[in-house]
């Protein structure tokens, strides 16, 4: 016991314990990183990275710099990950048609293969969110009720409770989510494009993200069973419509009455 007590008081004991703690923490971090990497749906090759670099230099370097380090006209892409490229390029927002408050969705300018190559190149520049695995996009495994609760808590204030979109400040807006693919919805949550915050796995778990996608696809499939959606703004747009239409009918009826008496 005395020898053990002496070893505990050794001057290097504290340093040894600290080293063991650091090694254990690093091991756990590496293991967690390996799990996250396993969720990626695409394995990139050296050829993908090379071809992506060529596409980047020809189409993106003007704004983002030859090494994607950023310029006054475009941010750095180091560390944004493949998911960001797949979303921005896959929805046609990039390359931007013109400078403005935010990038507009438009017809896609690149093929699926080229998007993969651009994603591979940007992913090679630094660690970032990967393109999600199909497991997290399968709505048959999702819980729509829970997804609706998560959406209303975190997303409805900008995108509207019916995901119809809404106006923001200074010419910006939250787009409608109708018709957006499962992959792009997931990628938007993990990358935070435009004015959207980033919802990493600590904020909203992958299972909850899948639930949100399930909810959005369910309301998308339902359409508008009650008739004209009127922007899905509820009593605001409905009341305005009734007021405007009713007032118009009254004015028309008044004109008709006065024309008959004359």
Give the angle 28-29-31 at the CA atoms, nearest 5°.
Answer: 65
Per the annotation, does 133 bind a ligand?
no
Give, in order, the Cα–Cα distances in Å from 219 to each of 42, 126, 185, 216: 29, 37, 14, 5
Per the annotation, does 10 bind a ligand?
no
Per the annotation, does 158 bind a ligand?
yes
Per the annotation, does 184 bind a ligand?
no
Residues placed in the known binding site: 60, 63-64, 155, 158-159
Residues placed in the known binding site for heme c: 60, 63-64, 155, 158-159
């Amino acid at each position: 016991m005395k020898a053990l007590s002496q070893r505990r008081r050794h001057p290097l004991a504290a340093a040894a314990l600290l080293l063991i703690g650091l090694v254990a923490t690093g091991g756990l971090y590496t293991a967690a990183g390996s799990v996250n990497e396993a969720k990626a749906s695409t394995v990139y090759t050296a050829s993908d990275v090379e071809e992506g670099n060529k596409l980047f230099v020809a189409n993106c370097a003007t704004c983002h710099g030859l090494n994607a380090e950023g310029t006054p006209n475009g941010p750095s892409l180091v560390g944004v990950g493949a998911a960001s490229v797949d979303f921005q390029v896959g929805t046609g927002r990039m390359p931007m048609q013109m400078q403005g408050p935010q990038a507009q969705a438009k017809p896609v300018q690149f093929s699926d293969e080229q998007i993969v190559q651009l994603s591979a190149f940007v992913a090679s520049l630094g660690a970032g969110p990967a393109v999600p695995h199909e497991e997290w996009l399968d709505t048959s495994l999702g819980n729509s009720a829970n997804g609706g609760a998560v959406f209303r808590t975190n997303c409805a204030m900008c995108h509207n409770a019916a995901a119809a979109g809404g106006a923001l400040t200074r010419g910006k807006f939250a787009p409608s989510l109708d018709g957006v693919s499962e992959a792009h919805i997931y990628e938007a949550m993990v990358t935070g494009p435009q004015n959207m915050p980033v919802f990493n796995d600590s904020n909203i778990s992958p299972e909850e993200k899948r639930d949100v996608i399930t909810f959005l696809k369910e309301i998308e499939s339902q359409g508008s069973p009650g008739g004209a959606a009127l922007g899905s703004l509820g009593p605001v747009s409905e009341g305005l419509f009734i007021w405007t239409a009713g007032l118009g009918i009254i004015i028309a009826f008044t004109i008709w009455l006065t024309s008959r008496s004359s």
